[in-house]
């Protein structure tokens, strides 16, 4: 659709607006319309909004405020929020593609900038589009656990989300009259442009063409299929159709997927060494051998484990209550506890826990009725409710009980 004043025709030839170079692209009146753009844009805005809010909840797992510990209830909180974050992020990809297609001719407006204000508006749109493409792109690669970059994904993804949502709100404010008009317009039209000198018939669909309503149905169906075939990695009832799920809990060892193996972490030999000791520091420090650990009174709890990639699984864990060891080391319910893995390095070899999560945490030795495998964290791992999987530290070797 030509967004400039409608080109006039003479002798069957389309005339270009004054000043437009002859090589500049011209778009006819086809299926693109404000009605489609407004409807797809509204759906995309909802997806971006949900993805942003749930993304903030996820980021809080990485950077909590000291005075507001992560709650332990509901136990499935992170499973819900991160599952929603990943699903809405993936759904936004076909919606974003459809939205960009619907406004593609706007890129070739002539003149490119009618005023300073118009130039600034176009610049803000360029920021919104580029930031959105990068944000969903690196988010998708994170789901696939492929990081072909040197920057910190967590930091860039977090701050870029603020850029996207800020420029989106600005865009909505500027385009609100057009959005309202587009939502009020009926959805009708066709995909092919009319012959020069003729007017389009919105009710006529040429052979092989597609209506504007058909475009909306196709775009909505694409987004729905992405959601349906992804959600099953977090929602058990949809598991049979989780064709795009990157992890399949039902086919994983002991029913829980493994993101990082003992070999990848470089701990396989250390984890099975007969000299293993769990060191607990605090006002009254002590050490425990593996046999002493397994002789302690154990409890069983059903807790989900959820990962940043969007997959999650319910599981039965058997182990020692972390608070029992904290109390023995001289700590109390207000202690801040830091757990350290056998991993020699890595961003998640240490994690802190406090508040209600500390009270509900287990030092797990068994998963779904079987002894932990070395890839699942043998000899000992942390499991706590409403906690990101990367912070349920595996291969525990040290527990520091602070004040």
pLDDT in tens, 304-335: 999 998 899 999 999 999 999 999 999 999 99
pLDDT of residue 7: 41
pLDDT of residue 197: 38
Q: Find all residues with CB under 8 Å of 71, minimum gap 6, and list them.
A: 77, 355, 356, 357, 386
> Residue 45 has which token pair?
């805005």
Q: Give the integer Cα–Cα distance in Å for 327 and 51.
A: 40
Average pLDDT, integer, range 37-52: 96
What 348-351 contacts at long range (C-beta under 8 Å, 24+ apart), as own/partner pairs, is 348/390, 348/391, 348/393, 349/393, 350/393, 351/382, 351/390, 351/391, 351/392, 351/393
CATH no., domain 255-401: 3.90.420.10
Percent over 70 (pLDDT), the chain:
90
Whether 152 has a pLDDT exceeding 90, the answer reads: yes
User: DSSP states of 176-241 as a string?
Assistant: HHHHHHHHHS-----SSPPPTT----TT---TT---HHHHHHHHHHHHHHHHHHHHTTT-GGGGGG
Q: Give the integer Cα–Cα distance in Å for 168 and 127.
A: 10
Burial 39-56 (b: 16+ CB within 10 A, else e): bbbbbbbebbebbbebbe
Average pLDDT, integer, range 154-175: 96
Q: Give the integer Cα–Cα distance in Å for 225 and 90.
A: 10
Q: CA Rg, the chain, in Å?
A: 28
Burial of 382 (0-12, 13-18, 19+ CB in 10 A): buried
Instruction: Write down the mean pLDDT value for the chain.
Output: 88
Q: Give the integer Cα–Cα distance in Å for 62 and 42.
A: 31
Domain boundaries, the chain: 9-241, 255-401
Q: Give the integer Cα–Cα distance in Å for 376 and 261.
A: 8
**What is the CA 219 to chain-centroid distance, rounded?**
20
pLDDT of residue 279: 98
User: DSSP states of 152-172 as a string?
Assistant: -HHHHHHHHHHHHHHHHHHHH
pLDDT of residue 209: 65
Task: Give the number of C-alpha atoms closer than 13 A to the C-alpha of residue 116, restricted to the C-beta side.
Answer: 0
Q: Give the integer Cα–Cα distance in Å for 399 and 81.
A: 29
Comparison of pLDDT for 343 and 198, the residue scoring more: 343
> Residue 260 has which token pair?
């990082």
Going by C-alpha positions, the residue among 222, 256, 265, 223 that lies closest to residue 79 is 256
Whether 13 has a pLDDT exceeding 70, the answer reads: no
pLDDT of residue 4: 43
Query: Is the separation of the CB atoms in 389 and 259 below 8 Å?
Result: yes
Residue 305's alpha-carbon distances to 43, 311, 313, 338, 399, in angstroms, are 30, 9, 6, 20, 21
Q: Give the integer Cα–Cα distance in Å for 258 and 85.
A: 20
Residue 67's alpha-carbon distances to 63, 333, 336, 355, 399, in angstroms, are 12, 14, 12, 10, 22
Q: pLDDT category, 400, cuts 50, 70, 90?
A: very high
- What is this structure's pTM? 0.87
Q: pLDDT category, 244, cuts 50, 70, 90?
A: confident
Give the tens place of pLDDT for each residue, 171-210.
999 999 999 999 998 887 444 444 433 344 444 444 456 7
Query: Is the separation of the CB atoms in 24 and 50 below 8 Å?
Result: no
pLDDT of residue 296: 94
């Amino acid at each position: 659709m030509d967004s400039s004043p409608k080109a006039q025709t003479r002798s069957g030839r389309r005339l270009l607006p004054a000043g437009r170079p002859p090589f500049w692209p011209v778009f006819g009146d086809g299926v693109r319309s404000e009605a489609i753009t407004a409807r797809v844009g509204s759906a995309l805005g909802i997806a971006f909004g949900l993805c942003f809010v749930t993304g903030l909840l996820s980021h809080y797992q990485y950077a909590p405020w000291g005075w507001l510990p992560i709650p332990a209830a509901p136990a499935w909180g992170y499973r819900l929020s991160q599952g929603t974050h990943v699903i809405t992020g993936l759904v936004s990809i076909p919606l974003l593609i459809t939205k960009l297609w619907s406004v593609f001719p706007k890129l070739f407006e002539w003149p490119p900038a009618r005023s300073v204000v118009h130039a600034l508006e176009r610049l803000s749109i360029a920021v919104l589009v580029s930031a959105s493409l990068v944000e969903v792109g690196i988010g998708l690669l994170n789901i696939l656990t492929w990081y072909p970059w040197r920057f910190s994904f967590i930091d860039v993804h977090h701050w870029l989300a603020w850029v996207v949502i800020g420029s989106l709100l600005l865009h909505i404010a500027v385009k609100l009259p057009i959005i309202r008009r587009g939502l009020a317009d009926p959805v009708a039209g066709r995909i092919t442009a009319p012959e020069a000198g003729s007017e389009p018939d919105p009710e006529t669909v040429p052979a092989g063409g597609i209506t504007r309503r058909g475009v909306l149905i196709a775009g909505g169906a694409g987004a729905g299929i992405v959601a349906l075939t992804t959600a099953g990695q977090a929602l058990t009832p949809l598991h049979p159709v989780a064709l795009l799920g990157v992890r399949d809990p039902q086919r994983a060892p002991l029913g829980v997927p493994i993101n990082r193996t003992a070999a990848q972490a470089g701990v396989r030999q250390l984890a099975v060494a007969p000299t293993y000791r769990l060191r607990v520091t605090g006002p009254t420090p002590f050490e425990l051998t593996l046999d002493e650990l397994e002789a302690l009174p154990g409890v069983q709890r059903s807790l989900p484990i959820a990962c940043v990639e969007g997959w999650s699984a319910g599981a039965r864990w058997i182990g020692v209550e972390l608070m029992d060891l904290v109390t023995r080391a001289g700590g109390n319910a207000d202690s801040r506890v830091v757990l350290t893995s056998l991993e020699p390095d890595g961003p998640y070899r240490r994690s802190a826990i406090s508040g209600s999560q500390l009270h509900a945490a287990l030092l797990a030795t068994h998963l779904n009725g079987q002894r932990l495998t070395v890839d699942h964290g043998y000899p000992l791992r942390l499991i706590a409710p409403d906690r990101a999987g990367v912070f349920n530290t595996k291969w525990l070797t040290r527990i520091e009980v602070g004040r």
